[in-house]
Structure 1
Amino acid sequence: MNRIDASDHYDESSFAAQTPSLLTIVIDTNPRAWAALHHVLPISKAIANILVFVNAHLAFGNDNQVAVLAAHTNRAVWLYPKSPNPDGGSYGRGQDVHMSGVEPELGTSANKYPQFAQIETSILTSLRALIDSTTAADLNPTTLISGALTIALSHIHKTSLAFEPPKTSTDPANPTTAAALTSSSTATPNLHARILVLSVSDSEPAQYIPTMNAVFAASHARIPLDTITLHGTPTFLQQAAFITGGTYLSAAANPRGLLSYLMFGFLADADARRSLVAPTQDSVDFRAACFCHRDVVDTGFVCSVCLSIFCGVPDGAECLTCGTRLALGAYGAKPAVVPRKRKKKKIARVNGSGGGEDTGSATGTPVPP
């Protein structure tokens, strides 16, 4: 009867709590790139697909969180949540987009989940203000991805601190503290965080160093960096997905299927991907940008001290980064060619005779019957 009247109680200690998941989305808002994609996929439809993807992520768990950033041509701007510092929340400028009128619009629809409505209103309002504030001088062919990645990592680190258990003591000699540190190193993480970049432009060689710094910081923190590209070839983001263990997908052949790519390729977090077959990259472009001219090179010169890359030999063979004088040795000299030694021909045995030198006689040695 307990099962029939739904009064059968279960032991709650046998069920593990779901680990919260934080999804940080970086949207490339380069006006020139979106103008090239307007006839295939307008930015309005792309944002609508992203909102559906965000709602699906939040619907997986009550503790799931989301953050959205816009990587513009000269700055990175928060789209959701609101910037905690309205005077200096954007990267590259001293002002942030003022999100006025967000709260009054939440009650316009009674058929929409309040959190979904709040995220949608905040993203659309902030994005509209960002586009309206863009001038002709801001129309650069590049995008500030490195600044957006840095802000995303800072937000993830700040959010992860809120999910850490309280510390009982700061004394390492305390047995309770030592046991807590040991258990925390072997226990499951308190937050599953990842970054998803929606790219529509090529990688800027001038941003190679700050981008790689953010990528290595994400790899050290075990934060996967996923990338989906709709246009162009983001070489550095492709390397970032490989280094951090993320997923890289190119939807340039069919940008209209953005929602399908997002739902089937990026909805699962890092923990769930262990049980799934995630998409892999066929080939990775590992080219780097030189430190002297910021050009992407296939072959270059690497400093043995600071690992700086140069497209040519610096003046005086001196590293431009650390000042170390490089020893090039015999670089540029022609290699010595050693003539090959001729091998003696081996003569096949005839009637049991040895394989010695050829005597010119075709008759073999007589053998007694």
Structure 2
Amino acid sequence: MNRIDASDHYEVTATGQTPSLLTIILDTNPRAWQALGPTLSISAALANILVFVNAHLAFGNDNQVAILAAHSHRAVWLYPKPPSSDSNNSSKNAVSSFKKKAGLGGDGDVEITPQFAAIESSILSSLQSLIAETDAADIPYTTLVAGALTTALSYINKTALSFAPAKPSSTDPNANTTGNNNNGSGGAAAAAVAGAQQAPTLHARILVLSVSDSEPAQYIATMNAVFAASHARIPIDTLSLSPHASPTFLQQAAFITGGSYVSASLNPRGLLTYLMLGFLPDAEARAHLLQATQDRVDFRAACFCHRDVVDTGFVCSVCLSIFCEVPPGDAGCLTCGTKLALGNYGNKPAVVPRKKKKKKRVNGVSGREETGSATGTPVP
């Protein structure tokens, strides 16, 4: 064609938008929301969150959303709803039903994004049933955030696998055999390099709306989830709403995973403004924007012995467990059992007397070392 009409023709390939999965963890502790009620009610917060969710879904047809409730004793799905347990259905059918409700086809194909009204009704009905099942006599002041983070990471992993392209079979004659040696190491190395350079098929992130303090008893489980998210390159964003709480561990989660931590405790009524301006861009768009950063990060950890948040403590040299005080007697580490030895820790430093310096003598006459003069005091 170029020789016929003397013009250049270019083959343009259409590149689709990478899907973005937003997983929202909503802190639904009743005590914390009751304290925040005069400023921001949970009904007003849900209305703002739904507007934010609709804006995220409107950015692309392939965008997905998942919402969990981090309650007092458990983590509950608000959207999509998990499939009901039926003994007649197999686990494969259950997973297929769960993926369809999440906007994914049972065979891995992406379906049309559900209507906004369906998402709203699912969230409201699930939240109402959760509140109805909550016993008012047994409500702690903290929230099970660690369980919600673990559940969100599991859901993100399953969704990413459904978006990933199918791997070629070893018996496929059309499989790539470039660089194939006698032992096949060249082809494996080329496949590894190609997999490392492949663009991600899903941009996933987690947004935590916190209204309560971090529970020291959940420190280990929370940090395990945070490091797993960091390894998977999933940023964890945190928006703190309550002026009466300080989510210490979530500050560290945002710092470790490269997310954003914003405190809206001074004006919780501006929740929608914080959500739209600070947390609407996904991980790909944030590379071209200036995100909100933390001026101060609370890096305090919880001790493994009393579950107290401490500023300074003792660390086991083997398993890196943290203790607020030395185990009494000959007791070893509570985690690995290693006997802890502090050596001379706590002893007063030894005082070594200073040696007196001798005065210098020049031509048999002693001079003063303080002034550096070689001559003595004049005499009459």
Assess, with a 3 A threshold, how the Cα gap between structure 1 residues 358 and 300 changes in structure 2: closer, same or farther. Answer: farther
- Greater displacement, 292-301 / 78-87: 78-87
Paired residues of 1:29 and 1:72 also in contact (CA < 8 A): yes
Q: RMSD in angstroms over aligned alpha carbons?
A: 2.5
Counterpart CA distance in 1 for 2:239 and 2:137 is 28
Paired residues of 1:76 and 1:148 also in contact (CA < 8 A): yes
Assess, with a 3 A threshold, how the Cα gap between structure 1 residues 147 and 85 changes in structure 2: closer, same or farther. Answer: farther
Report the TM-score, using the length of structure 2 for normalisation. 0.79
The alignment status of 1:181 with 2:192, answered yes or no, reads: yes
Find the residue that maps to 1:138 and give its secondary structure. Answer: coil
Which one of the candidate residues 349, 356, 362 is aligned to 2:373? 356
The alignment status of 1:250 with 2:250, answered yes or no, reads: no
Counterpart CA distance in 1 for 2:238 and 2:355 is 56
> What does residue range 70-149 of structure 1 map to in structure 2 within 5 Å?
70-86=69-85, 115-149=115-149
Which one of the candidate residues 315, 327, 332 is aligned to 1:302? 315
Aligned residues: 323
Post-superposition shift, 1:322?
Answer: 0.8
Q: Please give the per-residue CA displacement for 1:266-290, whole angstroms capped at 9, x wherever unaligned.
A: 1111111111111110111111101
- Greater displacement, 302-311 / 178-187: 178-187
The letter for the 2-side match of 1:271 is E
Assess, with a 3 A threshold, how the Cα gap between structure 1 residues 318 and 129 changes in structure 2: closer, same or farther. Answer: same
Paired residues of 1:27 and 1:68 also in contact (CA < 8 A): yes
The letter for the 1-side match of 2:24 is I
Paired position in structure 2 for 1:106? none
Counterpart CA distance in 1 for 2:240 and 2:322 is 27
> What does residue range 1-369 of structure 1 map to in structure 2 within 5 Å?
11-13=11-13, 15-86=14-85, 115-170=115-170, 173=184, 178-231=189-242, 232-315=245-328, 316-338=330-352, 347=371, 356-357=373-374, 359-360=376-377
Q: Please give the per-residue CA displacement for 1:289-341, whole angstroms capped at 9, x wherever unaligned.
A: 01111001111111111111111111324111111111110121012244667
Paired position in structure 2 for 1:99? none
Assess, with a 3 A threshold, how the Cα gap between structure 1 residues 341 and 116 changes in structure 2: closer, same or farther. Answer: farther
Counterpart CA distance in 2 for 1:259 and 1:77 is 23
The letter for the 2-side match of 1:72 is H
Q: Please give the per-residue CA displacement for 1:171-210, whole angstroms capped at 9, x wherever unaligned.
A: 8938666544321211221111100000000000011011
Q: Please give the per-residue CA displacement for 1:138-195, whole angstroms capped at 9, x wherever unaligned.
A: 3111100000000000000000001111111358938666544321211221111100
Counterpart CA distance in 2 for 1:229 and 1:222 is 22
Percent identity among equivalent residues? Answer: 69
Segments of 5+ residues of structure 2 without an aligned counterpart are 1-8, 87-100, 102-112, 172-182, 358-367
Q: Please give the per-residue CA displacement for 1:88-138, whole angstroms capped at 9, x wherever unaligned.
A: xxxxxxxxxxxxxx9xxxxxxxxxx96211111110110111111111233
Post-superposition shift, 1:16?
Answer: 2.8
Assess, with a 3 A threshold, how the Cα gap between structure 1 residues 62 and 337 changes in structure 2: closer, same or farther. Answer: farther
